[in-house]
């Protein structure tokens, strides 16, 4: 008999200091997740550069069980439909985003819908030419002390 997975409750979401709800409120879902270390957060590249199935569990396995440093390249897209359950799963597991930055302009982004959606639009950055938005660097951590700023 197959066991059903229950959605996280409000108390489960409170396990994480990272405001994962901001990604739900911004109506963003992952279009692509790649195991990828990046500078300046990761001094060495121990990532495997694998495209992952878009699930929180695949991200957690890569970040913590395989010791790939927890860095990901995440391409997000807007949706009018059902939110991605992975954001709540990360919150329920108590996972923190120790770093979240735009791949285009390399700016660290606070977990607020308005700030994230700004980086979904085409903009210039490190390369001085305008590129389509939606590409982000994300590092997951279990350490609550790494996330110093209050995202709420």
Q: Answer whether residue 101 is part of any domain.
A: yes
Which tokens belong to 124?
């210039």
- Host domain of residue 114: 10-143
Q: Answer whether residue 150 is part of any domain.
A: no
Domain count, the chain: 1
The DSSP output letter for 137 is E
**56-92 per-position pLDDT tens digit:** 999 999 888 887 888 999 999 999 989 999 999 999 9
Residue among 129, 127, 126 at smallest CA distance from 107: 126
Residue among 152, 148, 138 at smallest CA distance from 69: 138
**26-50 per-position pLDDT tens digit:** 999 999 999 999 988 988 888 898 9
Q: What are the CA-CA distances from residue 130 to residues 14, 98, 102, 118 (Å)?
A: 38, 27, 13, 14
Check: pTM over 0.85? Answer yes or no.
no
């Amino acid at each position: 008999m197959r066991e059903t997975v229950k959605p996280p409750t409000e108390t489960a979401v409170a396990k994480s200091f990272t405001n994962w709800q901001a990604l739900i409120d911004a109506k963003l879902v992952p279009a692509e997740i790649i195991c990828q270390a990046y500078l300046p957060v990761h001094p060495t590249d121990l990532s495997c550069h694998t495209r992952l199935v878009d699930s929180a569990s695949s991200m957690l396995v890569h970040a913590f069980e395989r010791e790939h440093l927890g860095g990901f390249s995440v391409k997000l897209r807007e949706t009018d439909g059902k939110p991605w359950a992975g954001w709540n799963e990360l919150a329920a597991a108590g996972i923190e985003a120790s770093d979240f930055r735009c791949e285009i302009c390399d700016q660290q982004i606070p977990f607020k819908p308005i700030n994230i959606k700004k980086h979904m639009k085409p903009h210039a950055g490190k390369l001085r030419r305008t590129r389509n938005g939606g590409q982000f660097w994300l590092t997951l951590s279990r350490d609550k002390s790494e996330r110093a700023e209050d995202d709420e």
